Amino acid sequence: MAFVDKARIRLYAGKGGDGAVSFHREKYVAAGGPDGGDGGRGGSVIFVPDDNMTTLMDFKYKRKYSAPDGANGQGKRCAGKDGEDLIVRVPRGTLICDTESGALMHDMSDGQNYVAAKGGRGGWGNMHFATPTRQVPRFAKPGLPGEAREVTLELKLLADVGLIGFPNVGKSTLLSVVSRAHPKIANYHFTTLFPNLGVVYVNEGSSFVLADIPGIIEGASEGAGLGHDFLRHIERCRLLVHVVDVSGAEGRDPVEDFRIINEELRRYQPELAERPQIVAANKCDLIPDGSEALSDLRRAAEEQSIPVFEISAATHRGTEALVKCCAEMLSELPPMTPFEADYVPPEPDQEGAEDVCIEHADGLWQLEGEWLKRVAATVNFSDYESRMFFDRVLRKAGIFDRLEQMGIQDGDTVCIYDLMFDYRY
């Protein structure tokens, strides 16, 4: 199965059902009055974390996700059925970002469900509009449209320990030895084209997730090789195991390799260079006689207080001690905290505010219009701050000025879809 860690999709929440215009008619019941029910709420699009998913492959071909609309209201005060919420499952480490602004909306690693597109509210039936002076209201309110947006899903793998290092230094071999993962292993560069995960069992009740991160070479922080594609997966690792080939089989300098990889981490994200690290000096069984490579690497690592383990992944030498050290360090490290969301919903565009239709009858002022629908759909009327925001938007758009020019009086009732309030100067 291909590994996909980025996807762009469109979300469409359901429209609210329309309110009903109906009057109670029953034999021997005089003046039954209006009994039109409210429309149902539109379905929302909800993201749910799934620990059984490790890729965004499901979103490679399906790019549009639509929740069903709410049902219209009916007579006898019967409300329409709410639209079912659309559940979209994603890997736990997925970031949900607004495509237009690039801002982070939610980090699914916190394990909580996230409503990415909220369904529209259902419209009121005519039973809400009966007053002593208006006993036969022949109108109801339409449902509000649901939210629609484009989001970018970005997967950052959730792993406790990340294996970093140049290609062909033995990271995949080490992963296959200490876990039950079966990555592709071959003696050429870039054998590993996507991250591999494995669970390492230390002893009863102790285990951790290990990730083999490919594609890190000199210049990776600027996008060389597969750099930007997979450097993001290191960000959630609490501990890094830096695998270095000390055999000199490819004519490379282990100390220089160690320096280059750490410099790439620092350039990509300075915090990564400060992340706890262990050096795994691999292929120790192939070190030629008289070579100072291992001692030079140990000296360079110890200058930064980084422990060094001599291992041979191919012969399993030293791997058990390395695993135990990882487990001990993880027991003292705090868990990674989810990324903070920084998405701020944009203020509604005032273009189209002049097209709001205002009707007046019997002391009731009804406001309707596509612009008003969009504004109302972004407001939580049960929250005081949201209502004040709504008031500021209407005032800034000149809606209140138009009402006063048309002769609205103090105490008149204003109806904006499912919101009714008494006007006050």
Whether 2 shows a pLDDT value over 50: the answer reads no
**What's the rounded mean pLDDT across residues 104-126?**
92
- Residues 43 and 177 placed together within one structural domain of the fold: no
pLDDT band at 381 (very low <50, low <70, confident <90, very high): confident
Q: Evaluate if residue 114 carries a pLDDT over 90.
A: yes
Both 79 and 196 in a single domain? no
| 3-class SS of residue 292 | coil
Confirm if 335 and 322 have CB atoms less than 8 A apart: no
Q: How many residues does the chain have?
A: 425
The answer on pLDDT for 89 being more than 50 is yes
pLDDT at residue 70, as a whole number = 96
Q: Which two tokens stand for residue 376?
A: 């109302």
pLDDT confidence tier of residue 243, bands split at 50, 70 and 90: very high
pLDDT at 319 over 90: yes
pLDDT, position 328? 93
CA atoms of 377 and 141, how far apart (whole Å): 14
Say yes or no: 180 and 235 in one domain. Answer: yes
End-to-end CA distance of the chain: 64
Q: Cβ-count burial of 283 within 10 angstroms (0-12 exposed, 13-18 middle, 19+ buried)?
A: buried
Residues 397 and 359 in one domain: yes
Helix (H, G, I), strand (E, B) or coil at 9: strand
- In 189-339, alpha helices (H): 227-231, 254-268, 270-273, 293-302, 319-332
What does the block give as tokens for 51? 């620990």
Q: What is the dihedral of CA 129, 130, 131, 135, to 10 degrees?
A: 140
Same structural domain, 148 and 45: yes
Residue 401 has pLDDT above 70, yes or no: yes
Final residue belonging to a domain, choices 136, 155, 174 = 155
Residue 392: which CATH number? 3.30.300.350
Is position 292 within any domain? yes
Among the residue ranges 67-76, 104-113, 248-257, 358-367, the one predicted with the least confidence is 358-367
Same-domain check for residues 187 and 93: no
Binning the chain into helix, strand and coil, the percentages to the nearest 5 are 25, 25, 50
Report DSSP state, residue 41.
P
Assess contact for 196 and 278: CB atoms under 8 A.
no
Instruction: State whether 75 and 145 are in the same domain.
Output: yes
> CA–CA distance from 420 to each of 124, 207, 355 (Å)?
11, 58, 20
Q: Give the residue among 256, 28, 4, 33 at the shortest CA–CA distance from 126.
A: 33
- Statement to judge: residues 24 and 173 lie in one domain: no
Instruction: Give the pLDDT confidence of 140-193 residue by residue, as tens digits.
Output: 778 888 999 999 999 887 789 999 888 888 888 999 999 886 766 655 455 556
Whether 422 is in a domain gets the answer yes
The answer as to whether 191 is a domain residue is yes
pLDDT reported for residue 289: 77
3-state DSSP call for residue 139? coil
Q: Kind and range of the H or E element at 64?
A: strand 64-66
Listed in sequence order, the residues at least 6 apart from 36 whose beta carbon sits closer than 8 Å to its beta carbon are 19, 20, 21, 22, 23, 73, 74, 75, 77, 125, 126, 127, 140
Looking at the fold, whether 142 and 166 belong to one and the same domain comes out as: no
Is 177 inside any structural domain?
Answer: yes
The closest of 200, 195, 131 to 164, measured between CA atoms, is: 195
Residue 171 sits in the same domain as residue 290? yes
Residue closest to 280 by CA, chosen among 169, 204, 126: 169
pLDDT in the model for residue 379? 72
Which tokens in the block code for residue 296? 């030079």
Count how many Cα atoms sit within 13 Å of the Cα of residue 276 in the half-sphere of its side chain.
18
Q: Indicate whether 123 belongs to any domain.
A: yes
Which of 89, 121, 155 is the C-terminal boundary of a domain? 155
244 found inside a domain: yes
Tokens encoding 394: 């209407």
Q: Check residue 217 and give its pLDDT.
A: 58
State the pLDDT at residue 225.
47
- The first and second tokens of residue 124, run together, are 């009121």
To which H or E segment does residue 352 belong? none
Domain boundary pick from 118, 139, 155: 155
- What was the pLDDT predicted at 141? 78
CATH number assigned to the domain comprising residue 188: 3.40.50.300
Residue-wise pLDDT tens digits, 326-351: 999 999 998 888 888 888 877 666 55
Residue 25 lies in a domain: yes
Number of domains in the chain: 3
Which residues, at least 6 apart from 40, have a Cβ–Cβ distance to it below 8 Å? Answer: 16, 17, 70, 71, 72, 73, 79, 80, 81, 82, 83, 122, 143
DSSP-derived letter for residue 26 is B
Print the domain residue range for 54.
Answer: 1-155
Same structural domain, 145 and 170: no
Looking at residue 280, its pLDDT comes to 94
Residues 45, 111, single domain; the answer is yes
Domain membership of residue 337 (yes or no) is: no
Q: How far apart are alpha carbons 44 and 341 in whole angstroms?
A: 20
